[in-house]
Structure 1
Amino acid sequence: MRRLRKVSLCEVSLCGVAEMSFVRGVTNGIRVDPLTQYGVVRGRTKQKLVGLWQLGHTGKRGIQNMRAGKAFKEQSEKRVAKAMSSKESCRAELRVAIRQLTDRCLYSASKWAAEQLVGIEQDPAKFTPSNTRFQRGSSSIRRKYRTHETSVTPIAGVSYVATPVMEEDEIVDGDFYLLAKSYFDCREYRRAAHVLRDQKGSKSVFLRCYALYLAGEKRKEEEMIELEGPLGKSDAVNHELVTLERELSTLHKNGTVDPFVLYIYGVVLKQKGRENLARTVLVESVNSYPWNWSAWTELQSLCKKVDILSSLNLNSHWMKDFFLASVYQELRMHSDSYQNVNIYKEPLAQIAKAQYSLREFDQVEAIFEELLRNDPYRVEDMDMYSNVLYAKECFSSLSYLAHRVFMTDKYRPESCCIIGNYYSLKGQHEKSVVYFRRALKLDKNCLTAWTLMGHEFVEMKNTPAAVDAYRRAVDIDPCDYRAWYGLGQAYEMMAMPFYALHYFKKSAFLQPNDSRLWIAMAQCYETDQLHMLDEAIKCYRRAANCNDREAIALHQLAKLHSELGNPEEAAFYYKKDLERMESEEREEPKMVEALLYLAKYYRAQKKFEDAEVYCTRLLDYTGPERETAKSLLRGMRSAQSGFPSMDVEHFPP
């Protein structure tokens, strides 16, 4: 039997585990690997290895390290247990909230809470893979594309306010409530409100007020269709708002309202235009019951500025992080949005929205592919995915997506917008407009449909219709920079640069990191009617600093400085543009222009070596620039030799 040739013992690690260097030996024909696998070795060699392992742990230092490792392990286990306990606490809260929200017919909020429930990271040791299928792909996407490390909810070390779960009403009016809820689910809102007319419980009061509000909204939409048609404007209003405001105001003053009644009161105040009071009431609602995402959404729509957001007196509940992430996204504060997005299913779509605003289309595409892999029948937010595929000109992927949503639910505004994008990419703009109109019949406030239909009218050179569509989009959301940009494009087509500049400025104010908007402003300043070249240069500089993907700003800066007689600045930007084209390995006509200008510039500066480099590169082209480069080279060589040039063009006439 061969003996073990060499064994080297390393210093004991902090965790108390002896690490050994790779051990080579032959024992009964078996190769000995690291000590952690010594179980495959038999006989005396095994005894020696065990003895060496024990020797490394019997010393004083080994004992200390073992204790330190044990303490570290215990602390780690406690932290993990605490984190899992916090997540389980969140899940328990969400389970109760889902039942309460569903019982009050707040189905959108209930769906949102249910998606968070299945999206929260669970302990794989306690659950089967089928229970964690919504987490695995989402977590990998976040690890791959997240730019900031964000914490789980609740955040470790952050103290959150514990919100007690509200108690349900007594069963006194339970039978009437069940009947009213049945009517409500059948969309017979007035019947539901009538059944609960004499009930005083908080649940009954909420459902009655909610049913009356929806009945008024339903009638308002009917009047709009009757008076102006499905796509027209109308002065129709919800006639139930006055009665509801009077009743809810009295209940609020008497202090007999629960968080859900406060929510509907805030919605009514918002519709009446009393935004300050609506914010106060909605803050009171979410502080009392933070799991109603519909209340957070209404509050978000009232936070158009950062100052308003910072003035809100919100409790430090973990639901606040979701709210802040969503608000920061709307306010174009993408980095802050990342810091508040948590590791659950729905915020993954929120991450995609932030990346979409930053025009990181490859990352957005990967996120949506993962979302569809986990949830193949999802239609929400897929219109944004179709915009990405449209921008990348992915015909097959967009066709597949359009077919998928058509088979899933073709009468959804998002589905119609996706199909409209598909036909637009094929160049069938008339058919695309048909589907955008269909989306607006389903939802007259579909912002995406109005904006995309405006784009189609621009492609069809129907500028009046485009202006009308963009103005409808602006009426729905004044913070939508795409509609303002579209208005600028439409007026630019009508040769009205002053109007176009006004709308481009609005869009750039809302989306200051988009280079396209600054380039559009600069082009307006360059028109003959304005001819404000200094302002155009400022805009092109902003565009160059905003990651100009279309590579327009640097070239235009060079040309403008050349026109204004600033050769040094022009050469600087031509050189930067040339370096960009070389790094991207592009052969563009602009490269010839840059090489020619730099050759002439360095010749004028008596830097003949640099000028010769650019002239030599021009010799690779076959156009007139080749002959120009030859002439420049001959002139520089004659100047360096001290003899006059023999070119005919240098002789006086």
Structure 2
Amino acid sequence: MAGLAMSDLRGIEKDLDRTVVACNDRCLYNAAKWAAELLNSLPEELNQASVSNKDIADAEDEDLSTSATSVDAHEAKLQRRERSKFLMAKSFFDCKEYDRCAVTLLPTLLPQQPISREPSVPVTPGKGKGKTGASPRAPRTWKPDLPELSQRSLFLALYARYIAGEKRREEESEMILGPSDGPVTANKELATISGLLEDYFQQRENAKTITRPSDGFLEYLYGIVLMKGRNEDLAKQWLIRSVSLNEWNWSAWVELGSLIGTTEELAAVSQHLTPSMPAFLFQIYVSQELYQSSDSLHTKLDQLLLVFPRSAFLQTQRALLHYHAKDFDSASSLFSSILAAHPYRLDSLDIYSNILYVMESSRPRLSHLATLASATDRFRPETCVIIGNHYSKSSAHEKAVIYFRRALTLDRSFLSAWTLMGHEYIELKNTQAAIESYRRAVDANRKDYRAWHGLGLGYELMDMHSYALYYYQRAAALQPWDPKMWAAVGHSFERCGKAENAIRAFKRALASASASSSSAPDAQGQGPAPGGFGGTTTNGAAGEQDPLAACVGGRLDADILHQIALLYEGLDELGEAAAYMELCLAQEEGPEEEDLVPGTSGAPTGTGVTLTTSKARLWLAKWAFAREEWARCVELANELCQDGFEVEEAKGLVRDVRGRTGEGAS
């Protein structure tokens, strides 16, 4: 990557320039913005060389919209013929007159029934991933004719009709979390668009004698329609075809990434992709979306920054990698530098507000960020989320909910607002609303482990522990290096009466905490396997090796150690229970220096005396009393008297020991 020649950089510049024009022509503004930002983040010397070598006179005479993509003579002829109509239709789209834009280019889209008709093909969620909810091959009651149009005009007409359907769907959904909100209200234009695209591709397939190149945009639109209809496997195939034909259309890459839920799926998709710069960017983006954070990913980002040294997008990806690795200081520093360089850029600043929310002594910075975002654009979802976090930090949870709902009113697909609103409803003790918010979050993005964890918490508060266990397991599978996830799984197993599985989950939590404190997971996300915690599985090949085998030379969570000991006590394995109580007690002093992990800096620190360690000390004193280890029992009981916890019971133990020893002497 670092050895790219100047000619390769000029090729990238030319591709990005064409992509910006092509995406703007088709009203894919986010893709155009992404490509334009990358274009302007290329090295300065390349831009200066390009300006000096560019023939401005020829550029003014050239029809940029025709040359924006590789088109044959027939396609160019169609674009010239319909140019005036296309410009009018695009103006209608820019003015948000989507139906008018569609019928300008495709008059046969004029409805044969009222606009509020029911969808020709019911759009219902499938039973699982890859299941078809709305089949594009289902019979249609009304099928408009497809006149001869350029690919550009056909895309804009169908895309405008799709956006019009989405707009009507949101209008029919009415209020957030209302009775019509969610999957019950569908885009009624999907069946018509799907049928037209199916016929179009079938005609291209049948016309063997005429092989005209495709620009990839119609394949992208078909992939979106299939994805909205829950036909995800087929949607993935068409999106892969789209990015193969037009590799710089970032909107297609984003939609493809939303269909990838695991690193294994990413590896499988990558096998079908042609190695290229956009594919390289896509792999880093999806790895970040899958909460991966490793040295190899940072190395890849370093290589890309050599090509795009001023890219705010790549710098944001690095900040998000630090955020997923819980390195909030580094992530905050990067976001601060991005904000200083681009003070009016609101993209991903909602994540920055999340970081400031969890950092200590950061309320003034969060307040300043909210003021800055509000001054830039008060009606952006990111701004509403930032202000909501500001109110939540101040414990004004009702006001926080108002702003999170406002963000969702502006964009119902804005994932972080659903999750954060669920958190606020938990604080307000509105469990039902919290569960529904979290459910909408996972509907929008199945990779959001925070929403899965929130669902588990909601059902736990309702004492529905089997449901809570399922959702906690989903969260732990997505974030296997987060001890909080495994601790939640362990507590749910305990409440479901599955002590052995609970012990194994708690041990995973300890192992995850120890591993995350020493090193981050690798690029493939290898960590404690989420399997082996089924309803009937208690032992197996994966469970033979104690997860704590690698936890050497670090401070462990005393509460989890105490919980494991109590579970062993319930299983009548008192020897194991005593061993974990001793481990819990040892956390007061921390690990010895010779037990520290090599390369760890700083003196070992313990927790000091806590309520949990005092409970462990009392349990061990009773254990010593039962084993007639009088000296050990008195020692532990005297320590309890000095600590101030469980003093009366400790004094009683001392009296009993003295009574027993006095009887033994007589």
Q: TM-score, normalised by structure 1?
A: 0.71
In structure 2, the CA distance between the partners of 1:452 and 1:327, relative to structure 1 (3 Å rule), is same
Q: Residue 385 of structure 1 aligns to which amino acid in structure 2?
A: Y
Distance in 2 (CA, whole Å) between partners of 1:118 and 1:595 is 64
Moved more, 251-260 or 556-565: 556-565
Match of 1:46 in 2: none
Tell whether 2:260 aligns with 1:303.
Answer: yes
Distance in 1 (CA, whole Å) between partners of 2:572 and 2:327 is 38
Tell whether 2:351 aligns with 1:378.
Answer: no
Q: Quote the offset at 1:609 in angstroms.
A: 11
Tell whether 2:663 aligns with 1:652.
Answer: yes
In structure 2, the CA distance between the partners of 1:85 and 1:258, relative to structure 1 (3 Å rule), is closer
- Determine if contact 1:525/1:531 at 8 Å carries over to the other structure: yes
**Residues 343-387 of structure 1, C-alpha deviation per residue, up to 9 Å, x if partnerless?**
343133223333333333223222222221222222221222222
Distance in 1 (CA, whole Å) between partners of 2:390 and 2:446 is 27
Q: Quote the offset at 1:258 in angstroms.
A: 2.7
Match of 1:436 in 2: 404
Distance in 2 (CA, whole Å) between partners of 1:470 and 1:82 is 45
**What is the aligned counterpart of 2:162 among 213, 216, 220?**
213
Match of 2:497 in 1: 531
Tell whether 2:604 aligns with 1:587.
Answer: no
Match of 2:530 in 1: none
- Determine if contact 2:176/2:408 at 8 Å carries over to the other structure: no
Moved more, 100-109 or 603-612: 603-612
Moved more, 185-194 or 330-339: 330-339
Distance in 2 (CA, whole Å) between partners of 1:98 and 1:627 is 76
Q: Residue 429 of structure 2 aligns to which amino acid in structure 1?
A: K
In structure 2, the CA distance between the partners of 1:596 and 1:572, relative to structure 1 (3 Å rule), is same
In structure 2, the CA distance between the partners of 1:519 and 1:173, relative to structure 1 (3 Å rule), is same
What secondary structure does 2:40 align onto?
helix
Match of 1:91 in 2: 13
What secondary structure does 1:552 align onto?
helix
Tell whether 2:292 aligns with 1:281.
Answer: no
**Residues 561-609 of structure 1, C-alpha deviation per residue, up to 9 Å, x if partnerless?**
4555545544544454455553335334144455666788799999999
Match of 2:83 in 1: 174
- Determine if contact 1:230/1:444 at 8 Å carries over to the other structure: no
**What is the aligned counterpart of 2:31 among 109, 117, 123?**
109
- Equivalenced residues, count: 526
Tell whether 2:148 aligns with 1:239.
Answer: no
In structure 2, the CA distance between the partners of 1:282 and 1:512, relative to structure 1 (3 Å rule), is same
Tell whether 2:449 aligns with 1:492.
Answer: no
Q: Quote the offset at 1:296 in angstroms.
A: 1.0
What secondary structure does 1:237 align onto?
coil
**Residues 229-261 of structure 1, C-alpha deviation per residue, up to 9 Å, x if partnerless?**
597346333333233223222322333543122
Q: Quote the offset at 1:324 in angstroms.
A: 1.5
Q: Quote the offset at 1:483 in angstroms.
A: 2.1
Q: Residue 440 of structure 2 aligns to which amino acid in structure 1?
A: R
- Bigger relative CO (Cα 8 Å, ≥ 6 apart): 2
**Residues 411-461 of structure 1, C-alpha deviation per residue, up to 9 Å, x if partnerless?**
122221221222122112122211122122212233222222222222122
Match of 1:409 in 2: 377
Tell whether 2:224 aligns with 1:267.
Answer: yes
Distance in 1 (CA, whole Å) between partners of 2:583 and 2:42 is 48
- Determine if contact 1:87/1:121 at 8 Å carries over to the other structure: no
Moved more, 312-321 or 230-239: 230-239
What secondary structure does 1:507 align onto?
helix
Distance in 2 (CA, whole Å) between partners of 1:466 and 1:103 is 41
Distance in 2 (CA, whole Å) between partners of 1:378 and 1:81 is 31
- Determine if contact 2:587/2:608 at 8 Å carries over to the other structure: no
- Determine if contact 2:177/2:436 at 8 Å carries over to the other structure: no
Structure 1: any 5+ residue segments left out of the alignment?
A: 1-78, 128-163, 636-644
In structure 2, the CA distance between the partners of 1:595 and 1:115, relative to structure 1 (3 Å rule), is farther
Q: Residue 239 of structure 1 aligns to which amino acid in structure 2?
A: K
Tell whether 2:471 aligns with 1:503.
Answer: yes
Match of 1:38 in 2: none
**What is the aligned counterpart of 2:507 among 541, 561, 564?**
541
Moved more, 274-283 or 227-236: 227-236
Distance in 1 (CA, whole Å) between partners of 2:223 and 2:268 is 17
Structure 2: any 5+ residue segments left out of the alignment?
A: 50-67, 107-146, 205-211, 306-310, 518-556, 591-603
Distance in 1 (CA, whole Å) between partners of 2:226 and 2:564 is 51
Distance in 1 (CA, whole Å) between partners of 2:630 and 2:46 is 70
**Residues 287-342 of structure 1, C-alpha deviation per residue, up to 9 Å, x if partnerless?**
11100001111222233355544444211111101112222333444447556543
In structure 2, the CA distance between the partners of 1:526 and 1:202, relative to structure 1 (3 Å rule), is closer
Distance in 2 (CA, whole Å) between partners of 1:357 and 1:267 is 28
C-alpha root-mean-square deviation of aligned residues, in Å?
3.9
In structure 2, the CA distance between the partners of 1:87 and 1:559, relative to structure 1 (3 Å rule), is farther
In structure 2, the CA distance between the partners of 1:598 and 1:297, relative to structure 1 (3 Å rule), is same
Q: Quote the offset at 1:463 in angstroms.
A: 1.7
Q: Residue 438 of structure 1 aligns to which amino acid in structure 2?
A: R
Q: Residue 557 of structure 1 aligns to which amino acid in structure 2?
A: I
Distance in 2 (CA, whole Å) between partners of 1:352 and 1:595 is 44
Moved more, 530-539 or 330-339: 330-339
Match of 1:391 in 2: 358
Match of 1:28 in 2: none
